[in-house]
Amino acid sequence: MMPPSARAISVAKVFVFAFALIPFALLVRMVLTDQLGPNPIETLNRFTGDWTLRFLLITLAVTPLRQITGWQYLIRIRRMLGLFAFFYVCLHFLSWLWIDKLFDVDEIVKDVIKRPFITVGFTCFVLLIPLAVTSTQGMVRRLGGGRWRALHRLVYAIGIGGVVHFWWLVKSDIREPLIYATILAILLGYRLWAYRRRLPARAVSPA
Amino acid sequence: MLIKQAPDIPSHEITDEKLYRERRRFLQQAAAAGLLLAPGLNAWPQESKKKLGPLKKGPFSTVEKVTSYKDITRYNNFYEFGTDKSDPADNAKNFRTRPWTITVEGEAKRPATYQLEDFIKPYALEERIYRLRCVEAWSMVIPWVGFPLNEIIKRAEPTSRAKYVQFTTLLDPKQMPGQRPGLLGAGLDWPYVEGLRLDEAMHPLAIFAVGLYGEVLPNQNGAPLRLVVPWKYGFKSIKSIVKMTFTESEPPTTWSKANPREYGFYSNVNPAVDHPRWSQAYETRVGEDSFLSRLTRKRKTLSFNGYADQVASLYAGMDLKKFF
């Protein structure tokens, strides 16, 4: 198959960008039309949290999809997807900080220290910041490919942490977190499998 | 006081079970046939939305703004019908609340099994507008219709050994999809069981509710009969009750069986004792605390959900952090 032209990739990027903004547009509409339901805080937290996890998983799906299909150009939209995960986690964090906690520092510190699900969620948010900051071409160059890749492997831990954060939040019905956990396990499991398959090849290759 | 005794039925008047079942089936089929013939009549579920009355104004009612009927009936935790807040309203639509029997047993001098109508009949229905505080940090104000639980307890005449009373919800996986085995269930042990110390159950604030907003209790709110203990987290107010058992020792309760670290037997509303995973200091009043209002203020949760004057004495000398 012919690789798509630079123009085709630009067009694709615009489409992905627009699609990735749909949840945000829905959220804005829900807020403006007072459609957040009986418990707006819960709706807001859940909505932004759900979309963070979804974008994290979509981002993590790029590499396996690229390797399986051979569509190398998929890599060109990965950064945008990752940044959308960061965008939604910022909304999620803000909704917790402001609407849930009303910037009450005591409460926030207590929550982060005492509640494992918040500890995990907060840690994941903090870990995502350096990934977002170093996502530009300039930063990739400055860090060097090897170090950049090593740093960005943090996203595996963040993915796991995100699912754990959701799992520990639910009272007893684990079906939804289980779906996310399964998808994540497949995406990370694929990497492990692909890595192990490459190992023997590497072992015999000249140093 | 006139205490109505469960009648002794001569054995020749007791319907043979087989015959009873046949009659039931006949009635059900007839009802189903009737439904088919008269689709506009909406004969089933015939009970909900029916006006109850006349109601007397009960004590302890709050004057706070009452939560809308829509929110009270569309935002429910009733895991037997699914774990989403909107599931119970959808899945309990065809829940059959008649015929309904309630068994009173255990350490009581007058154990008996009642038809729902006979169970309720002796008592005047009252309106009680109570706050309801869910363990998930949201709250409502609900105009219940019911009668004091202590009337039922007095009628049962608990023995001197009775220290607690346990309540049990109907177990019927056919009608309650959440009770079916596998992942569909919420991972809870069915049937749902709850309990109160006898002195808590005797407190005049505790009621059995059979309605809200002056009408028969909607299925998703625990029809046909549910407990309401407004100073405890909502999950203590067990729904669709079929059995009351007087016991000598503290009965197991569903949520504390599922997670004893997070849910205790008492589960009194207490802003000073956090749920291990979230603070209980504040709450969101459903339908009232809007997104915008939350940007600038929060609603404080009150000790015993604002009923401390009435019930705090029940727990005098108890360490409420230990007995959460």
Within a domain: A195: no
**Is the pLDDT confidence value at B292 over 90?**
no
Within a domain: A90: yes
Task: Give the percent of chain B with pLDDT over 70.
Answer: 84
CA–CA separation, B85 and A191 (whole Å): 38
Within a domain: A194: no
Chain A residues touching B284 at Cβ < 8 A: 39-42
Residues B288-294 have a mean pLDDT of: 80
CA dist B64 → A170, B82, B215, B299 (Å): 31, 30, 20, 14
- Restricting to A residues 16-55, those with a Cβ less than 8 Å away from any Cβ of B are 31, 34, 36-42, 44
DSSP-assigned letters across all residues of B31-54: HHHHHHH-GGG--TT-STT-B--P
**Of the candidates B288, B280, B319, B309, which has an alpha carbon nearest to the alpha carbon of residue B141?**
B288
**Is the pLDDT confidence value at B300 over 90?**
yes
CATH class of B12-314: alpha beta
Within a domain: A87: yes
Residues A86-112 have a mean pLDDT of: 92
Q: Where are the domains of chain B?
A: 12-314
Q: Coil, strand, or helix at residue B55?
A: coil
pLDDT tens-digit series, residues B28-72: 555 544 444 433 333 334 566 789 988 999 999 999 999 999 999
CA–CA separation, B138 and B285 (whole Å): 6
CA dist B80 → A168, B76, B172, B310, B316 (Å): 22, 11, 9, 32, 35
Which H helix or E strand runs over B103? strand B101-106
Beta strands B282-285 and B215-216 are: unpaired
Task: Assess A173–B contact: CB distance below 8 Å, yes or no.
Answer: yes
Copy the structure tokens of residue B323.
């007995």
Beta strands B112-115 and B126-133 are: unpaired
| Residue A148 domain boundaries | 6-187
Least confident of A9-18, A165-174, B54-63, B218-227: A165-174
Q: What is the pLDDT of residue A171?
A: 74
**What's at B80, amino acid-wise?**
E
User: Which of B263, B284, B289, B296 would best serve as a mutation to test chain A binding (most A beta carbons within 10 A)?
Assistant: B284
Within a domain: A205: no
ipTM reported for the complex, 2 dp: 0.71
Least confident of A35-39, A80-84, B36-40, B58-62: B36-40
**Is the pLDDT confidence value at B212 over 90?**
yes
Within a domain: A203: no
pLDDT tens-digit series, residues A132-187: 999 999 999 999 989 999 999 999 999 999 999 999 988 778 889 999 999 999 99
**What total of structural domains would you count in chain A?**
1
CA–CA separation, B226 and B238 (whole Å): 6
Task: Assess A61–B contact: CB distance below 8 Å, yes or no.
Answer: no
Q: Do B279 and A42 touch (CB under 8 A)?
A: no
DSSP-assigned letters across all residues of chain A: -PPPPHHHHHHHHHHHHHHHHHHHHHHHHHHHTT-S-S-HHHHHHHHHHHHHHHHHHHHHHHHHHHHHH--GGGHHHHHHHHHHHHHHHHHHHHIIIIIITTT-HHHHHHHHHH-HHHHHHHHHHHHHHHHHHTTSHHHHHHH-HHHHHHHHTHHHHHHHHHHHHHHHHSSS--HHHHHHHHHHHHHHHHHHHHHHHHHHHHHHS--
Q: Which residue in chain B has the smallest CA separation from A116?
A: B277
Q: What is the pLDDT of residue B130?
A: 98
Q: What is the pLDDT of residue A39?
A: 86
Q: What is the pLDDT of residue B21?
A: 60
Which H helix or E strand runs over B154? helix B149-156
**Is the pLDDT confidence value at B233 over 60?**
yes
Q: Output b/e per residue, B10-33; b: 16+ Cβ within 10 A.
A: eeeeeeeeeeeeeeeeeeeeeeee
Extract long-range pairs of A139-143: CB within 8 Å, 24+ residues apart. Answer: none
Distance from CA of A127 to the nearest CA of B (A): 22
**Is the pLDDT confidence value at A189 over 50?**
yes
Within a domain: A206: no
Taking the whole predicted model, whether its pTM rises above 0.95 is answered as no
Choose among B79, B138, B274: nearest Cβ to A39: B138
Within a domain: A153: yes
Chain A residues touching B187 at Cβ < 8 A: 172-174
